[in-house]
Copies of this chain bind each other. A is one copy, B any other.
Amino acid sequence: MKLSQAGELSLLEILKKRFGQRSRGVLVGIGDDAAVIRAEKNILLTTDMMVEGVHFDLSWTTPFQLGFKLVSVNISDIYAMGGKPQYILLNFSTHRNSTRKLFDRFFDGVEEALKTYGVKLIGGDISSADRIMLSLTAIGTAGKSLKRKGARIGDRIYVTGTLGDSACGLALLKKIQRTIDFTKRGKKGLPVAWDIAAPLLRRHLLPIARNPKRISGTATAMIDISDGLLIDLSRLCKESGVGARIRAMDIPFSEEMKMTSACLGISALDLALSGGEDYELLFTASAKAEAEAFCIGEITRSGIAVVDEHGKKINVSARGYQHFSSQG
């Protein structure tokens, strides 16, 4: 069934039925001019847009993955402020000839993510366009929020998990698309075994945002790694007015990433430093604090340096994805 046969009102009815259950805190949900929430604490707000052909490609992303990832990406920003995600608003545009199946699978992915994070969909809009365009606003609460500003000289720098996996998964997807014969079934043509490839693909296609619950008490500054370690670290340092030294050998690599990047002929360190979309948290904490995460370096007076096991500087440049940059 094509969406143009369904009608916007009835698509909204479908979403209202699916996501509109009563809940404490939501005074008005889907279906009025605006949603109304009861608020006592400080409110965190973040928003992001995802456009077909720019941020994703339906030839290697399913609608389910797309819905899940759109939520994760925004929840990650709420977590990166030390917040508790609570609600989302979602704008969904697609082609009039899109199928009802695409619509349903997309919202299956959204629903799965809502369950994962304990979050409610409370509003948004549906409209037609010539392809899929999405925007999401996530709303959270926080007692004290953790900013990019706040890192002090001597603080240790931590990340919550392995880096470069998502970028390696993307590189693998591109390689698969170029070389696999899609007319044949099965996983023939994969440059690595499926059980090595799968976690990397999942990390790129179905990223799970990191809950900061265990670390936000000790962190002095925090950001999520969406555009690559070096770019996001630069942002944190800039806001804090400090520099950083990263020890390359202390950056956590997954075995899958190390093996796959070797097969693909890409530098694992490059992927870890400049690969985007890992959605791990990068934070700083006092040298006296004990943080449950991987310590990868420390805050310095100025400049960003990456050093090897002998303390020798490695030549790197912040290359992560940037819109509107001359290299971008």
Contacts and interface: CB of A to CB of B under 8 A. Distances in A.
A90 B137 CA distance: 10
A32 interface: yes
A125 interface: yes
Nearest to A49: B91
Contacts of A4: 324-326, 328
A214 interface: no
Contacts of A152: none
B83 A34 contact: yes
Contact of A33 (B28, B33, B40, B77): B77
Interface string A54-83: 110000000000000000000011101101
Contacts of A133: 49, 51, 133
Contacts of A196: none
A133 B91 CA distance: 12
A89 interface: yes
Interface in A1-46: 3-9, 11, 27-28, 31-46
Contact of A34 (B5, B45, B96, B123): B45
Contacts of A90: 47
A328 B128 CA distance: 10
A31 B76 CA distance: 15
A90 B54 CA distance: 18
A198 interface: no
A35 B9 CA distance: 32
A322 interface: yes
B325 A49 contact: no
Contacts of A326: 4-5, 7
B37 A40 contact: no
Contacts of A228: none
A267 interface: no
A21 to B, nearest CB: 17
A49 B145 contact: no
Contacts of A96: 323-324, 328
7 contacts: A7-B325, A39-B41, A45-B137, A47-B89, A48-B125, A51-B133, A54-B130
